[in-house]
Amino acid sequence: MTYLDHAATTPVLPEVVAAVAEAMSTCGNASSLHSSGRAARRRVEEARESIARDLGARPSEVVFTSGGTESDNLAVAGIHRARRAADPRRTRLLLAAVEHHAVLDVAEQLERAGEARIGWLEVDDYGRVHADTLAAAIAENPDDVSLVSVMWANNEVGTVNPIRELAGVAHRHGIPLHTDAVQALGQLPVDFGRSGADALTVTAHKIGGPTGVGALLLRREQAVAPLLFGGGQERGIRSGTLDVAGITGFAVAVRDAVAHQPQRAALLAALRDDLIHRASTAVAGVALSGDPGLGLVDGAPSRLPGNAHLRFTGCEADSLLMLLDARGIECSTGSACTAGVARPSHVLLAMGLEEDRARGALRFSLGHTSTQADVDAVIDALPAVVERARAAGALIRR
């Protein structure tokens, strides 16, 4: 198989498998006081210190969770509720419609429950939030904003946001900023302290770690209302028995991601550019979504090195996906299925694309196992696949 869906999940690193297996061979609850419990706690705290060191945070700022979705939910709902409890005027959440559903859906749930109002931040044609857009949204009423949430890099089209600049705008009004950095980690330099963010989401399985473990980096001074209650683990913010083996593997994956980020980013960018150029040459009617990747944002590339999001006119993305899959090539449509009806990506629609232009979108995402042979396989398959998909699309439209 040619696996080009690393943005969904990426193969687990061999050293992570070894670390997790070794940790699972021992028994101990990290909250227990006996010898086995203290040994488990030692593993957790060593992993916490390692992750903090690699991501520019203090160990006390690393709150372990079950992954990106829980971290996003905890940041959005938890910070909003804590801010509103301290000041009932803080009812407005500011976020862009291109956010991951882990952010969008919890915000919309808060709105349906009457706990919040959503203020939507406009994005440009690349899917980026600009500082002046955020400033204008805050200026409508600075006293009613509880939280700003803007993802570091978009999971579908790969566009990078100016998080440090956006955090500066929010902080001028005493408003905290959360960023989902799930896609950024390993592809871009991620430093919690330098970013200015008050809360930052990361997860293990996007960087060669195990599924089911992640973290919310949370500034010590930032109040947050917990979503889970029980044992009072993780500073009382996230109760639940800690996954010692998962956390151990997570730390190994973060260490690898950070240590190899510069070299890996350069390799992935070269493969990405080759894929985009050759696909556009081999097939007519191909367009790139998101930032073209020619500039810098906060000193880093303006597009994720491993992201190639292409739109094929006259095609349905699901047809393209299945035809490629039959050729042994795995990628993603970037669209969601709601009530059994395929809908274009909410990200592309928020960027201003019409539905018919958004329907034929595929996301090819590269990662630590990607090679030139993977790109070659895609280019070899694309012309015939697109021709068949367009023929099928023409029949459907008749």
Q: Could you give the residue numbers annotated as active site?
A: 337
Pairing of strands 286-288, 307-312: antiparallel
Mapped onto helix, strand or coil, the DSSP state of residue 223 is coil
> Quick check: 30 and 242 in contact, CB under 8 A?
yes
For residue 245 the two structure tokens come to 């083996």
Q: Which alpha helices (DSSP H) does the chain contain, by range?
A: 14-24, 35-54, 68-73, 79-86, 101-112, 131-139, 163-171, 192-195, 244-259, 261-282, 317-326, 346-350, 355-358, 372-397
Rounded distance, CA 179 to CA 389, Å?
Answer: 37
Count of C-beta atoms within a 10 Å radius of residue 60: 12
Rounded distance, CA 222 to CA 82, Å?
Answer: 9
What one-letter code names the amino acid at 354? E
Rounded distance, CA 247 to CA 20, Å?
Answer: 8
> Quick check: 94 and 121 in contact, CB under 8 A?
yes
Task: Give helix 244-259 / helix 14-24 axis angle, nearest 10°.
Answer: 160
Rounded distance, CA 360 to CA 371, Å?
Answer: 25
CB contact burial 320-358 (16+ within 10 A = b; e otherwise)? bbebbeebebebbbbbeeeeeeeebbbbbbbbebeeebb
Rounded distance, CA 82 to CA 80, Å?
Answer: 6
Rounded distance, CA 220 to CA 34, Å?
Answer: 29
Count of C-beta atoms within a 10 Å radius of residue 111: 14
